[in-house]
Amino acid sequence: MRLLRASLALVGGACALAACGDATIDDERGERFIRGVVAEQIGARVEAVTCPEDVKRKKGTTFTCAVTGADGSKGDVLVTQRDDEGASLLVNAPFLHMGEAETVMRKQIAKQAKVDDVAVACPEIVVLKKGALFRCRVTSAGRSRNVVARLTDEQGHFRYRPS
């Protein structure tokens, strides 16, 4: 087993998300913004983002949106409005940065096995929750095997082992 570290994506951004002449957030524009934030910050391929409709524009208001990865994995982001115009949002995406985790895992496995051709494929979205399990597929020298990982904390540390 190895202890790995990846990062939590906590990002803020300004985005004109107010619907013209409306007192609510434009949910379609918000969903596009969140899709971009999650893709950029954790490197996930995002299939869909679904936010509630009719969220009133008001500083401090929070709402939850569901994010679905291209592989069907899912997680929620918490969105906080930072102004009364719906133009600035803080997006808390408590997801494992899987690209970084796969890279670290690939390097450790390659070093242990003394090979160079290791590929690791894990879920797009893994919510940072202590004790959560996720499975990855490791391929090397034409052979594949599953690896099971368990998050050891909510900061992105985890251990893995062949299943």
In sequence order, the 6+-apart residues with CB closer than 8 A to the CB of 21 are none
- Which helix (H) or strand (E) segment holds residue 58: the answer is none
Tell me the pLDDT tens digit for each residue of 70-121. Answer: 999 999 999 998 888 777 888 889 999 998 999 989 999 899 888 889 999 9
pLDDT computed for residue 8 by the predictor: 36
What proportions of the chain, in percent to the nearest 5, are helix, strand and coil?
20, 45, 35
d(CA 32, CA 43): 15
d(CA 100, CA 130): 18
What integer best gives the mean pLDDT of the chain?
A: 84
- With bands split at pLDDT 50, 70 and 90, how would you rate the model's confidence at 16? very low
Instruction: Write down how long the chain is.
Output: 163
d(CA 37, CA 63): 16
